[in-house]
Amino acid sequence: MYDLAVIGAGPYGLSIAAHAAAAGLSLKVFGRTMASWRDHMPEGMFLKSEPWSSNLSDPSGAHTLGHFGDEHGFEAVHGRPLPIAAFTEYGMWFAEHAVPGVDERTVVRVAPAGNGFAVETSDGERVLARTAVLAVGVMPFVTLPQQLAALPASHVSHSSGHRDLSCFRGQDVTVLGAGQAALETATLLAEQGARPRLIARRPRLNWNTPPEPLQRGPLRALRTPHSGLGTGWTSWVWSEAPWAVRTLPGPARQHIARTALGPAGAWWLRERYERRVPALLGHGLRGAEARGGRVLLRLTTPGGAATAVETDHVIAATGFTPDLARLGMLDASLRRAVATTPGGGRTPELSAGFESSCPGLFFAGLLTAPSFGPSMRFVHGATFTANRLVAGVRRRLRTRTAVRLPRPATPAFVTPGSPGPVRKG
């Protein structure tokens, strides 16, 4: 039986695995390495965060993005956007050098098993672990507006569903949203020969300003400190003090997770976008229907009047909504047993060590934003998470006390050739 099973091999899962391995824990890491970055981001995109705040985390600090750049002949420089492709390669390099192997099989079920957990893969293998962490990234939480639900898949998609946007060359494509994903997707569509438009409920677009120099005078640095999520004291708190966010009441944390660091475009994208993409701002989406091979979008103007737009395809850059109910791999008995964050959300309420109310079951990434704040939506949060979570795992393992977990919602696993279910404990 392993000490820890890590489900997910993106920045959070890999960082946790690196810290767990350095702590001497026996572990098993599952997932396609850097899957979201490799499979769900269009070619030509750039990393929005600064390179120095985009490191995966290992205890020695030997596997930074800067070190990877030095080895591979490019500079990860403050104020210079980094291609997503380079960051993805960095994640693969990190996995090779800092993580003791990644099993790229898909996990289909995590269920209670005795005083630990059983992790089942798509080919039917069952692995046992005393503790488990779900670091599944954002893809289980893709959000599409309800108004688009009736459209066929050929007419609508999420922005995370495209690796190559050249398939839309010559087509009229409507992008919904006002954040970086919407703005960059629309820009790339235009640059690859499509005819995009942007529709957003917001009356105006927000654009980040160019980053201030790292080296500044002490007074200026005090007024607007740098942090992993930008400059200014508010960003500094979200970035550098997730522990403080966790001390707030649940409803306040939920509000912060929903509203802090709202939609905005990167400063380096603005000129490219404004030269090529028309926009309908302040327009609400009332409904949509397929009509004659195209899509009719019914909208409400800023003044409240009804209007409509016809388009060939709709790309919804409408983000991701963390929700325990969407974790199909998590046994239903565990989903029911996990206490959720006060304030109406369906996300796990976590200890300071990222442990849920089910002893030994940990969470990382987007699902933890209502507990620790908006840094959990960004790569930068992986360092805080990996340190605290692995410390929490070690505490749990040291207790060595029997843990009462709920029984699986479905029949126990059957060992091939055995006469019936095998139950532990």
What is the mean pLDDT of the segment spanning 252-280?
93
> Average pLDDT of 274-290?
96
CA angle 376, 379, 384 (to 5 degrees): 60
Distance of alpha carbon 109 from alpha carbon 92, whole angstroms: 25
User: What integer pLDDT is reported at residue 409 of this predicted model?
Assistant: 57
On the question of pLDDT at 304 being above 70, the answer is yes
* Rounded percentage of the chain residues whose pLDDT exceeds 90: 79
Position 326 pLDDT exceeds 60: yes
Q: How confident is the model at residue 406, as a pLDDT? A: 64
Q: What is the predicted pLDDT for the residue at 407?
A: 61
Residues with Cβ within 8 Å of 69's Cβ and at least 6 positions away in sequence, in order, are 51, 75, 76, 86, 90
Query: How many angstroms separate the CA atoms of 201 and 178, rounded?
Result: 8
Homologous superfamily of 146-207+265-316: FAD/NAD(P)-binding domain (3.50.50.60)
Tokens of 235: 């960003």
pLDDT in tens, 406-421: 665 544 433 333 333 3
Exposed (0-12), middle (13-18) or buried (19+): which is 236, by Cβ within 10 Å? middle
Residue 381 has pLDDT above 80, yes or no: yes
CATH 3.50.50.60 residue ranges in the chain?
A: 2-141+320-399, 146-207+265-316
List the CATH code of the domain at 2-141+320-399.
3.50.50.60
Question: Which two three-digit tokens encode residue 215?
Answer: 């080296």
Region at 124 (left for phi over 0; alpha for psi -120 to 50; beta for the rest) = left
Mean pLDDT for 65-81 is 89
State pLDDT tens for residues 91-132.
999 999 999 999 999 999 999 998 899 999 999 999 999 999
pLDDT at residue number 422: 38
- pLDDT value of residue 405: 60
Looking at residue 44, its amino acid is G
Task: Compute the average pLDDT of residues 154-165.
Answer: 95
Give me the amino acid identity at 312: D
Give me the long-range contacts of 150-153 (CB less than 8 A, separation at least 24): 150/288, 150/289, 150/290, 151/288, 151/289, 151/290, 151/295, 151/314, 152/290
pLDDT for res 357: 95
Write down the pLDDT at residue 152. 94
The pLDDT value recorded for residue 413 is 38
Which pLDDT tens digit goes with each residue over 35-67?
A: 999 999 999 999 999 988 999 999 999 999 999
Q: Are strands 195-200 and 279-281 parallel, antiparallel or unpaired?
A: parallel
Please tell me whether the overall predicted TM-score, pTM, comes out greater than 0.85 for this model: yes
